Amino acid sequence: MQRNFEGSNFDQGGFQGSGLRGIEPTASIWTRLVRRWYRLAAPADPPPTAPFEARDIVRRARLASVIIFIVLIGNIPSLPPALTGPNKILLPVLGVQLVATILAAVFNKRGRVTLGGLLVVLSLAIGMMANIATTPGGITVQAIPLFAILSIPEIVAAAMLPAFWVFIIAAINIAFSFFAISNMHAPNLSTQDLTFAIQDGAFLTATVQIVIAGVSFLWNMSLSRALREKDQAEEISRLERDLSEQSMELVRQKEQLEQSIGLIIQTQSRVANGDLNARVPLTQDNVLWSVAGTLNNLISRLQRLRTVEHELELTKTSANNLVTVLRSSKMGMSRMRYQRSGTVVDPIAAEVLSPNDTGYLLDNSMPPYR
């Protein structure tokens, strides 16, 4: 049985008009969002010829912009407990973190990656320390796991700041852990529990902080070395490509130079053989264009000089001919005929040897001189 699908939303092109055509892939949406966030919180891409330091700043700034975005999103789950929970200090801390994070995005956009990273790391560290220090009733043994959140600023410092900053943040966290457990514990905490909190809380926190700092430092240094080696490899590849292009250009110029020299030699040979109409056929993009132009001008002047010399020689001959005719007339010799030559002597001869006055014949085979 055949069914008629005419008028339905389905055709050979797919589901036209069904609304599915306007849905874009999720990856494309996220790509647009990331690019838009980069335009807001990260500097522009450096030119390809920029040094490693400039490209490294942009790389760190892009990573920092992503971390800043994560920190902004990560503060959202903390809003309900800050508004309704017993810890009233949490809401001002979140406000300070929000302002510091926005300022960090501004500095990061301007390429001040370290300053922006410090704002983010310090705001996170201060906020988490304030959260621990303001625990209702004081720090108890049950609150010891809260000190694990101090690792977050240290990890963020490893990603956003130079490598040595992880040790500074780790030292601050360790000092705060010992100080908080020793001086901010619950009043009813027994000596045994306090000793346990210091030994298993502060020292364990210090161990975790030191391990994270050491691993982060090695990871950061290894990554920096790998990026520098990658940059050097790209620079070497670019230099090799430039050298190859320069070599090809030199070969092309050499071939063009040889061809141009051959044309110049050929033109000189033709001129030496008397062909003054020869010219060097080179264009303006040729390396020997100026030489060819000078040679062509010289040939043109030589050609004009030859023409002038020929006219001068012809004028001398005509003048001698006129003198001979005049002398023969003066001496009463037989009439001689003056032949037109097309030179300046012809008008003079026409005036001197007029047929009405002298009876001498003029040869009209040559055009009159103008």
- For the cut 70, the answer to whether the pLDDT of residue 230 exceeds it is yes
For tokens 């008028």, name the residue: 7
Structure tokens that stand for 153 in this block = 């600023």
- For the cut 60, the answer to whether the pLDDT of residue 20 exceeds it is no
Residues 58, 169, single domain; the answer is: yes
Range of the domain at 340: 289-363
Mean pLDDT of 306-325: 83
Mean pLDDT of 14-38: 59
**Quick one: pLDDT at residue 211?**
92
Residues 233, 298, single domain; the answer is: no
Q: What is d(CA 138, CA 188) in angstroms, rounded to the nearest whole number?
A: 9
**Quick one: pLDDT at residue 171?**
92
Mean pLDDT of 285-305: 83
Residues 154, 221, single domain; the answer is: yes
Q: pLDDT for 63-76, tens place per residue?
A: 888 888 888 888 78
Q: pLDDT for 123-182, tens place per residue?
A: 888 888 887 887 777 777 777 778 888 888 888 888 888 888 999 999 998 898 888 878
Whether residue 275 is contained in a domain is answered as no
Whether residue 14 is contained in a domain is answered as no
**Quick one: pLDDT at residue 23?**
43
Whether residue 268 is contained in a domain is answered as no
**Nearest CA to 124 among 84, 164, 160, 178?**
160
Residues 229, 296, single domain; the answer is: no
Residues 121, 223, single domain; the answer is: yes
pTM beyond 0.85: the answer is no
Whether residue 115 is contained in a domain is answered as yes
**Nearest CA to 160 among 205, 106, 211, 216?**
216
Q: How many domains does the chain have?
A: 2
**DSSP string of 293-310, one letter each residue:** HHHHHHHHHHHHHHHHHH
Whether residue 249 is contained in a domain is answered as no
Residues 108, 223, single domain; the answer is: yes
- For the cut 70, the answer to whether the pLDDT of residue 357 exceeds it is no
Q: pLDDT for 175-220, tens place per residue?
A: 988 888 788 777 776 677 777 777 777 788 888 889 998 998 998 8
Residues 233, 299, single domain; the answer is: no
Q: Which residues contact 321 (CB under 8 A, 6 or more apart)?
A: 338, 339, 341, 345
- For the cut 50, the answer to whether the pLDDT of residue 364 exceeds it is no
